[in-house]
Structure 1
């Protein structure tokens, strides 16, 4: 080793390096060889690099965890809002607005569209308020009947559920108070009140089957359709007047809402009996309630066909009235024949078909 060092010193001296320079270069070369071949790392440098890498990794992990948590919360809130009921409310709002606009023959301005959008938002918020309170006070029953709901499945904290309900109620009331007439505001408040009393103790209107059916029929059948139509007329600057179409819509959809109120408990008999919740299905039996629901909705379609036949010419679009409701009646007969009363999945599909026909009716109403 010493001979190598001396030979190198002689060569580098010829080049012009001093002995001090050579010594410095030699020491650095030896250090690099040690680092390369023995993988030695300076503790201070290594620890600082590792800290920086770990900090980046932790920040990435924290960001990913936060985004996943937000995504799960949004999915839980979406399930909490019961999308099938939101769709019904949305279609009711669009249908009522279109009906009023087509009758008035007015050009839709940007201000009217903005006001209509606020009205739709208020209705959806009211819907979330009502179904949210129902889930909060029915957690134990839903663990048996609807274990997929976010509170029953523990996908959502109770505090978040209350936050969503309170914000929905306050914002919905504020929108209707600021943007609409006093009558619409009172109708909105009464709808929220009845919807809340349906589930809130000590009232719990759902304890009595007839009160539960009347509450749902009144809120989703009459208040919703009358309120949307009246609000649109007021926004257009037109005086509200009862006419055959709005009377038919209010009657037909009120009966339909009663059908929904009767059918909604068909798949939930097991949990309702376990927690002593009195419903028509739990008291009378599934088969009797199925027959009642089938006949009531079929009678509703027959009522629509008869009205289309006997109404004076020009009151309705007779071809649309007869053809559409005849087709829907046939579809309903087919769905009722497919039902297996002892099969829960079949009952769920049966209840889903009622909602699908409900959506179809709202698509038809503006063009009657």
Structure 2
């Protein structure tokens, strides 16, 4: 008997028993075979086809199954009458060789199949639970991605500089007036620190909004340029940071500090926002950075700390030194920050010292300014009337100067590649952090 006939009868019998199959469409591809024994053909079990996981194959029956199996005979409706039900997700036959192991693994004439989809109503609850868990994980991932993007948005290296500067200046003011220390002022000090961090975030954030085209070339990892933050969300963050900072300062500090804080935000805006966009001018750019990072931060923090302690402001040698030193250091930062960005700045018409003088000449000029800074600090350490601790002031700045020379030499040997320039710029910030870390003890 031909396989096509047997397949048709199996399909008919299974439909009568409440089972839907797709045998008819596949029977034409199978090889014909005849196996007559007594009354008719005895048909072997169905098995999952290894080469087609979603189909099932009719197998030649083994001799054992022919002798002892419950045959599916010509009238296959007997299976339905006995209530035998078989679930078939997609029954078909695939041509190919049949191994001996396949022939010996018959299941005594029973029809076996595997379904491509066996989910029932009871499984839907598990699926729903899995979907809810996936949605929760997706929300968690979104929150985590936003936090990471926000952290990059506020530029961590500038945040660390503001944080260390504020702590160092506050500590110095407290060490100069130990009898006036009042721990009840700690919440106010923390609010002041938060306001400074908000101002820092606003200035670097608004710069990214207007520098997005340049950053796609120079700093594609920044969140606005990378598409991690939309321009609308970036604007919302900037306005929120500025509003929070102004509100904190107005509520907790006097009119002078409020005016200085607002002035700093204004300079940061003029630096980035058209039609002013003062960053296009190399001189205007470094003057703004030096003013905000140098004078406003150092004077403002020291003044507000002494005012909170009830001590009047005094231009002590220490505060005069750190304000002057950091202002010059901010000039170096303003110059060296453009060293890795020459390509993008030239494409967008941004004039910097690096685009005008070249990377190597600009680097040497920056190193010269810093070495002069360190040399002046070492000289001041030896002047008794200044009241500095020579062992800290002199030795510390000598070590920092030696480190700077070493890093500049490494950059020269590396041939001023972009990666070497980036590493050098990071070390400039390291020197900046170390200066503030040393300041309370000089």
Question: If the length of structure 2 is used for normalisation, what is the TM-score?
Answer: 0.72
Q: Conserved in 2, the CA contact under 8 Å of 1:287 and 1:341?
A: no
Higher normalized helix content (fraction of residues): 1
Higher relative contact order (Cα pairs below 8 Å, separated by 6+ residues)? 1
**Cα displacement (A) at 1:341:** 4.8
Deviations 1:44-80 (A, max 9, x none): xx75434322321221111111111111111101111
Partner of 2:45: none
**Cα displacement (A) at 1:319:** 1.6
Partner of 1:21: none
Partner of 1:350: 424
Secondary structure of the equivalent of 1:235?
Answer: helix
User: How is 1:34-183 mapped onto 2 (pairs within 5 angstroms)?
Assistant: 38=86, 48-106=121-179, 108-183=181-256
For these two proteins, the number of residue pairs brought into alignment is: 333
Unaligned runs of 5+ in 1: 1-32, 41-45
Q: Conserved in 2, the CA contact under 8 Å of 1:341 and 1:347?
A: no
Task: Decide which of 259, 262, 267 is 1:186's aligned counterpart.
Answer: 259
For residues 134 and 196 of structure 2, the distance between their equivalents in structure 1, rounded to whole angstroms, comes to 39
**Cα displacement (A) at 1:34:** 6.3
Task: Decide which of 243, 268, 272 is 2:316's aligned counterpart.
Answer: 243
For residues 350 and 51 of structure 1, the distance between their equivalents in structure 2, rounded to whole angstroms, comes to 59
Q: Conserved in 1, the CA contact under 8 Å of 2:382 and 2:390?
A: yes
Task: Decide which of 280, 283, 290 is 2:356's aligned counterpart.
Answer: 283
Answer with 46-55 or 205-214: which moved more.
Answer: 46-55
Unaligned runs of 5+ in 2: 1-81, 89-118
Answer with 100-109 or 146-155: which moved more.
Answer: 100-109
For residues 405 and 367 of structure 2, the distance between their equivalents in structure 1, rounded to whole angstroms, comes to 8
Question: If the length of structure 1 is used for normalisation, what is the TM-score?
Answer: 0.86
Question: In angstroms, what is the RMSD of aligned CA positions?
Answer: 2.1
Q: Conserved in 2, the CA contact under 8 Å of 1:151 and 1:158?
A: yes
**Cα displacement (A) at 1:107:** 6.0
Structure 1 residues 54, 325: CA separation in 2 closer, same or farther (over 3 Å shift)? Answer: same
For residues 440 and 278 of structure 2, the distance between their equivalents in structure 1, rounded to whole angstroms, comes to 33
**Cα displacement (A) at 1:109:** 3.4
For residues 324 and 267 of structure 1, the distance between their equivalents in structure 2, rounded to whole angstroms, comes to 29
Question: Where do 4+ consecutive residues of structure 1 move more than 6 Å?
Answer: none
Q: Which has the larger radius of gyration?
A: 2
1:336 paired to 2:403: no
Task: Decide which of 433, 436, 442 is 1:359's aligned counterpart.
Answer: 433
1:321 paired to 2:393: yes
